[in-house]
Every structure is written in structure tokens, then in C-alpha cells.
Structure 1
């Protein structure tokens, strides 16, 4: 994400610089594109949004927290294009209600990550509540897939130092994204395609949704997939994308 400002007047510029510095020292810190970590504590846990790489590989990710109408059509579409290396982040409460879809996701070869249990903003919860929510979802997903998830996407992508610390305690890597399709807004198929293909480069993690609220994702995916295939991109899971990658991060206090 890049911002460009042009101001006149020393005093105004001085205050703007102070304001921007304060803002970026207290909230999620974005770093330059193609760096592995977007947020970290001093010598501690980190969150990842992209990977620095010269290879044409990209990680498609799908969040699901409610509904059953969108997931299967998206899975069918991915299968049609012979894509079985994407990452689905599932909320535990949703997974409990739809074990057959969870089984299908795993059977098709896609990676499954933890999206929390109740899909509540972690930054609004107490630390012990965050721990409980992650653990509840962890148990559900492990029981349904016979495999402990290792990737955590905090609900709505909101996290702070506490979330990173708790995630590390349970051996999770926090995964954000570098490209947002904004499909949950249902802005139209063409806009979703534009949001993705014009911003995505090798090493990016792309955010999609497969909940019922995202009504246009399935229609946009064919154009997106065909674009990447034409450009020679390879689709990989988040775990494969970040494996053996060099970390470059900024400290948040």
C-alpha cells in the first residue's frame, strides 16, 4: 500500500509528519511490497502478507465463516482448472456445522488454516478470550481433518502484539494478505477481477471469501485464474509460499 502526499507550508508539513509518525507507530505497520513480514515484535512473533521472490507464484486464500452456498461451487471451479493448492481459512463454528465441506476441501488437496471459532475481532477481546477462541477452533479443525492447522488468520484480519504472541504460543503463523479482492463488497465481477490482476505480483497472498455474503467470487475467478495461467504464474499454498523465505520485518512496540 503506497501513499503520496504533496503539501505546502513548513508548519503544516511539520504537523502532518508528526501525525503520520504517531499513527504508524501505534497501529499495524505496513512495509514495502515483497517483504515477508508485515508486523512483528522485537525478536518475536510475526505476521506475513507476502514473500520476496523472483518466481511467478501466488497464494490464493479463501475465508469462510458462514453459509453453505458458495464453497462447493468454488471448489468445483478450482477442480475444473486443476488447482488444488490454495489455502482455505475456516472458522471453527462454521466447520462444526459443515463437516462435509471441510472434508471436501481437504480431499481436494487444499490447505486448511484457522480463522478463529466465533469470528470476533481479536483486538476487541481480552487475551484469555483470544487464546480460548483459537484453541476451540484448533480442536475442531484437527478433529475434522486429522491434522493440526499451523496457519492463523485472525477474524477480519485484525490483530495486535497480543494476538501475535498468543498465536506463537500455539505454534501458529499469522497470515494477512497483500492483495484484497474486496469480493465481500460485491462490487461487480469486473471490479473484483481488476482488484486482483492489476495488483498481484509474484509472492503475493490474495484474499477471497467463500462465505455466502460473497456472491460474485465464483464468477470472477475464471478470469483471474486464466489471467495468471496465461502470465505463467503457479498457484501454491501459503505454507509452500513462505517455506524457506527470508524474513524482513519492522518492530511494533
Structure 2
């Protein structure tokens, strides 16, 4: 009799456990996750697999261009067949808008190339980057940072080491706002004519100052006034820095009117452009409109690291596929 009572209690408890709402929800979740995506006999699966080739975009390797020097690569796109099948499974029919894509990295990345300066991002990447060189202009930085925050834009500030050491609170403010900080030498010398040992000293000292303030390593070096020689780039690479130049110059240090600055940039900007600026009055006054009008051109704005990565940042549209 006791055995029967014991058995009955176990049966009741098991029944309640299996049929309670939480268990039912868990089991339903498992069922929804379990879809035989590898069943290649399914007509829908076969259709997705056969049509995937029409949407394939091959990755493009980074390369050294004769004119533009180092140019980053760009990820390719391919259909994630299993994920797409899972998304279409319930309706049981192929729908183009439900295709899921995954990125395919190129075999040769920027980091795989021999040391060479970078003047622009990939020409098919709908993104630009602000390079903001800082060695003076403290009074304009708060307004510029406020404008960047207003538009949720991240920029790359290339700071002079001496300036950062004298203005650690401003350097920290830049970093805390989510912006990237690059190396702009320590004393702003002509990096194309100074000695090899002086080049290394300028780079190392600035790296140390930035690391001490932000606790983050530096990735990029921007030569003052754009002056460098091959050895400058080589030494920067030995210090684990890529050398970055620019594509479009605001020439804001000449104090153009905001309208002149906007026209200068917007008439020359293109996919992958690196836009050079400084903390100046015309830049502070025109930055809001510059961001608005760049976005109207369907250009995203990111840091140098984001721009020069091979990652695609614009959502893939079906029209980009290779339908040949």
C-alpha cells in the first residue's frame, strides 16, 4: 500500500512539472528552435541554396594603390542559407525580404600590407570620418563635442602629446565621450626631416601620455602638417601605429566662413573620405550643418578605425547582389 501511495505521489508531481506553464513555454521554445535546417531535400531549402549565388558579393582585398597608397579591403556578403530557411520555414515559401546575410572577410586586410599611409577608406563604403587635429583651440572643443553628441557621431581626435599632457581633463573628456584618440606627435615637428631617433621619441612619448590619460592603446598616427617620409611610416608601424593622412581638408585654420567651409567639404566629399579639421571657430559653427548634410548624402560618420575596417556598415540591399 505504501508503495502505491509513493508511486502515485511521484506520478502526480511529474504530471504537474511537465504540464506547468513554465515547462510548456520552455518545451515550446525548444520546438521552435529545432527546425531541420539541414534537410536539403526540402524544396524551400533547395530553392534558397540555389538562389543564394544570385546575391553573393565577393570580398575585396586591401591593396597598395600607386596613387592612394594603402586602401582597406571590404567584406563580401553571402546568404546564410540555414538562417534564411529558419526564417521562412513557417510560411513555407521563398521571400526575398527574409533573406539573412553574413559578411565574408577578405583574405588580405590593411594590417597584412607593408607599412604605407592611408588617405581614404574603401570607395564603396558609404562612410566618412572626421580627423580632428588638436594642439590648440581649447575654447572650441566643448561646442564641438556637444554637436557630435547631439548627432550621436564619433570622431577621431589626433592630439599633440604636449597638449594632452597640459590638458589631461580635456583629453579625458574627449575619450569619455566615446571618441577615438590618435597620436599627432609630441611637439608638432616636421616628421619628414627630423632624425629617426627623434621620430621614434615623438611617437613613443605621445603614446605614453595618451595611455596614461585614457588607459587605452593608440592605433593611429597623424603626421603634423601631413609631413612624413617612408621611414616615418615604418617607425610608426614598428610602434604598432598605422599612418593616416586625409582626403578632404577644411582648411579651417585659414578662418573661412562657415558657408565656405561647408562648400569646400561637400563639393569634394565621397565614400571613404577622411575629413581633416581642427578646433576652430568656423568648424565649431559649421559642424552641425556639416553632419546633417553628410547624412543627407547617405554617408555614415564613424571613427578612423571604423572607416578603415573591412566591415560593411550599410544595410545590404537586394539590388547590390550579383544578378548576372
Q: When the two structures are superposed, what TM-score results if normalisation uses the length of structure 2?
A: 0.61
Whole-angstrom CA distance in 2 between matches of 1:110 and 1:48: 20
Given that 2:131 and 2:274 are in contact with CA atoms closer than 8 Å, whether structure 1 keeps it comes out as yes
Aligned-partner Cα distance in 1 for 2:193–2:68: 28
Could you tell me which of 92, 102, 115 is aligned with 2:171? 102
Q: Residues 179 and 67 (structure 1 numbering): CA distance in 2 closer, same or farther, change over 3 Å?
A: closer
1:79 aligned residue (149, 163, 170): 149
| Larger deviation, residues 216-225 vs 111-120 | 216-225
Measured after TM superposition, the shift of residue 34 of structure 1 is: 10
Of the three residues 256, 268, 278, the one matched with 1:209 is 278
Contact 1:117 1:133 (C-alpha < 8 Å) held by counterparts: yes
| Residue 121 (structure 1) aligns with | 190
> Equivalences for 1:12-161 in 2 at 5 Å?
31=67, 35-36=71-72, 44-83=114-153, 85-161=154-230
- For 1:139 and 1:98, how far apart are their aligned partners in 2? 15
Residues 146 and 34 of structure 1, relative CA distance in 2, 3 Å threshold: closer
1:175 is the counterpart of 2:247: no
Normalising by structure 1, report the TM-score: 0.77
In structure 2, relative to structure 1, the CA distance for the partners of 1:34 and 1:144 (3 Å cut) is closer
Larger helix share, 1 or 2: 2
Contact kept? 1:35, 1:50, Cα under 8 Å:
yes
CA distance in 2 between partners of 1:117 and 1:101 (Å): 16
Looking at structure 2, the residues matched to 36 and 147 of structure 1 have their Cα atoms a distance apart, in angstroms, of: 23
Aligned position for 1:9: none
Q: Is the 8 A contact 1:184 1:209 kept in 2?
A: yes
Q: 1:105-124 CA deviation, whole Å, 9 max, x = no partner?
A: 11111110000100111112
| Alpha-carbon distance between aligned partners in 1 of 2:289 and 2:172, rounded to the nearest angstrom | 27
> Counterparts of 1:30 and 1:49 in 2: how far apart (Å)?
12
Is the CA contact 2:118–2:243 (under 8 Å) kept in the aligned structure 1?
A: yes
Unaligned runs of 5+ in 1: 1-28, 38-42, 246-253
Q: C-alpha distance in 2, partners of 1:116/1:74? A: 22
TM-fit CA distance, 1:167: 0.4
State the superposition RMSD in angstroms.
2.0
Which of 210, 233, 237 is the equivalent residue of 2:303? 237
Contact conserved, 1:36 with 1:49, CA < 8 A, in 2?
Answer: no
Identify which of structures 1 and 2 has the higher relative contact order when contacts are C-alpha pairs closer than 8 Å and 6+ apart. 1
Q: Deviations over 1:184-243 (max 9, x none)?
A: 111211111111111111111100112xxx321111112211101222211111111111
Unaligned runs of 5+ in 2: 1-64, 74-112, 312-324
Misfit runs of 4+, over 6 Å:
none
